[in-house]
C-alpha cells in the first residue's frame, strides 16, 4: 500500500506517530449527532487502484470493453455478498474486474461495479472451471490449484476466521476426460505474502513442466512462437495511448471549491488533455492531502479516442482519533492517543 518514491509529495507529509489504530469522526451541531468512520482496509488501495489504470486501461479500450475481444478471451469472478452469489465479469474494464476479484475483506477496500459491492470471487467459486465450460466449451482444460478449502481457524487468526465465515466449499475436481489439474502444496504461503511472488511463479512453472507430457499428448494443435508474437503485436497495435480529456467525480455532491481543488490538482491546472504520468502525480497529491477517504478511479475511452476518468469519491471526516503506544518487557511502556 505504499506509493512509489518518484510520485511522493512532500507538501502534505506528516510526522511519524506511534499510531496503531485510527478512526475519523464528525459532530453535527444541527443534528446533535456524532458520525464516525472505522477503517475497512488494512492496506492502502490508492497505489493499486491507479496502477490498474496504468496497466489495463489501454488494453480494455482496444478490446472495446468486451473480454471476448482480448487476445486471449477472459473471465473474472467476484462475489456479490448482498445476494450471496458469484458475479461473473465478461465486460468492462479489465483492471476493475481483477480489482474486484482480489478484494479480501479488511485487507482491501471493496469497490462498486454495476451498483454492486464486490469482494473476492473465491468466497463463492474459487475455481470457476464450470464457468469456462459454460462460456467457451473448450476441448481441454488446464487448471491450476493454488489454495485449499478453508481449514479450521484458531482464536488468533482473523483472516482465517473471515475465510471460514464467508467461503463455501469449492469443487476442484476436473473430470479426466475434460482436462488436467495442476496441484501444488502452498501451505507455507499466506494470503498477503506478496514477497513470495517470484518463488510462486517458479514453482508453478516447475509443476506445469511435470505435467507437460500429458498436456502435449492431449492437446494436438500447435502454434509457433512467431505466430503468437505476431498475434500479440497485432493486438498491441490497437492499444491507444492513455491521455485524459475529462474528469468526472461521483457522486456529484462536493462543494465547488473542493471539486476545483481536486480537478486542478489532478490536471496540474491544465485545460487541455493531460498524460497519464501527469494525472498519476496529481492523484498521489490528492491522496496525500488527506481530504479523501474513497478515491477510486476508472477510465473509459471516448469518441475522440481520448480517455475520460470517473472517480468515485467520499470525503474523509474532519476529525481523527489515533491510538497507539509501545508495550515492552521493560518499564518503558507508553500509551498514545
pLDDT in tens, 135-145: 999 999 999 98
Classified as helix, coil or strand, 171 is coil
CA distances from 57 to 69, 277, 299 (A): 14, 13, 6
Q: What is the pLDDT of residue 149?
A: 61
| CATH 3.10.20.310 placement within the chain | 5-20+241-324
Q: Which residue has the higher pLDDT, 317 or 144?
A: 144
DSSP for residue 62: H
Task: Round the average pLDDT of the chain to a whole number and report it.
Answer: 86
Q: What is the pLDDT of residue 311?
A: 96
Bridge partners of 250?
312
DSSP for 280-298, written as a single string: HHHHHHHHHHT-EEEEEEE
Q: What is the pLDDT of residue 43?
A: 86
Write the Ramachandran bin of 282: left for phi over 0, alpha for psi from -120 to 50, otherwise beta: alpha
Q: Is the pLDDT of residue 14 over 80?
A: no
This prediction has a pTM of 0.82
- Kindly list the strands in the beta sheet with 334-336, ordered across the sheet, starting from the edge strand earlier in the chain: 33-37, 19-28, 319-326, 334-336
User: Could you tell me if 208 and 182 are in contact, meaning their C-beta atoms sit under 8 angstroms apart?
Assistant: yes
Q: What is the pLDDT of residue 160?
A: 72
**Average pLDDT, integer, range 96-101:** 96
Q: What is the pLDDT of residue 242?
A: 97
- Residues near 70 by Cβ (< 8 Å), separated by ≥ 6? 59, 63, 94, 235
Was domain 5-20+241-324 assigned CATH 3.90.180.10?
Answer: no
User: Residue 29's pLDDT band (boundaries 50, 70, 90)?
Assistant: low
Backbone phi, psi, residue 202, to 5°? -65, -40
Amino acid at each position: 500500500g505504499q506509493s512509489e518514491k518518484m510520485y511522493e509529495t512532500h507538501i502534505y507529509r506528516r510526522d511519524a506517530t506511534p499510531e496503531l489504530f485510527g478512526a475519523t469522526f464528525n459532530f453535527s451541531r444541527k443534528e446533535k449527532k456524532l458520525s464516525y468512520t472505522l477503517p475497512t482496509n488494512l492496506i492502502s488501495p490508492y497505489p493499486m487502484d491507479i496502477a490498474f489504470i496504468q496497466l489495463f486501461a489501454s488494453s480494455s479500450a482496444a478490446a472495446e470493453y468486451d473480454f471476448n475481444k482480448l487476445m486471449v478471451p477472459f473471465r473474472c469472478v467476484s462475489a456479490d455478498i448482498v445476494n450471496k452469489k458469484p458475479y461473473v465479469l465478461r465486460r468492462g474494464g479489465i483492471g476493475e474486474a481483477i480489482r474486484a476479484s482480489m478484494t479480501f475483506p479488511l485487507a482491501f477496500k471493496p469497490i462498486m461495479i454495476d451498483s454492486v459491492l464486490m469482494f473476492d470471487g473465491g468466497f463463492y467459486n474459487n475455481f470457476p472451471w464450470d464457468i469456462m465450460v459454460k462460456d467457451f466449451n473448450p476441448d481441454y482444460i488446464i487448471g491450476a490449484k493454488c489454495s485449499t478449502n478453508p481449514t479450521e481457524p484458531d482464536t488468533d487468526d482473523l483472516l482465517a476466521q473471515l475465510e471460514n465465515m464467508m467461503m463455501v466449499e469449492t469443487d476442484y475436481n476436473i473430470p479426466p476426460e475434460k482436462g488436467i489439474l495442476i496441484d501444488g502444496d502452498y501451505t507455507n504461503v499466506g494470503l498477503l505474502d506478496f514477497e513470495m511472488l517470484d518463488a510462486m511463479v517458479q514453482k508453478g512453472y516447475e509443476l506445469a513442466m511435470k505435467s507437460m507430457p500429458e498436456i502435449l499428448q492431449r492437446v494436438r494443435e500447435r502454434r509457433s512462437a512467431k505466430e503468437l508474437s505476431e498475434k500479440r503485436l497485432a493486438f498491441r497495435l490497437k492499444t491507444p495511448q492513455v491521455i485524459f480529456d475529462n474528469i468526472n467525480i461521483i457522486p456529484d455532491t462536493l462543494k465547488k471549491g473542493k471539486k476545483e481543488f481536486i480537478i486542478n490538482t489532478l490536471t496540474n491546472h491544465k485545460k487541455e488533455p493531460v498524460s497519464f504520468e501527469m494525472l498519476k502525480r496529481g492523484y498521489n497529491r490528492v491522496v496525500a492531502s488527506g481530504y479523501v477517504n474513497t478515491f477510486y478511479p476508472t477510465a473509459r475511452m471516448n469518441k475522440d479516442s481520448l480517455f475520460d476518468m470517473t472517480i468515485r469519491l467520499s470525503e474523509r471526516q474532519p476529525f481523527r482519533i489515533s491510538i497507539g503506544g509501545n508495550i515492552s518487557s521493560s518499564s518503558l511502556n507508553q500509551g498514545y492517543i
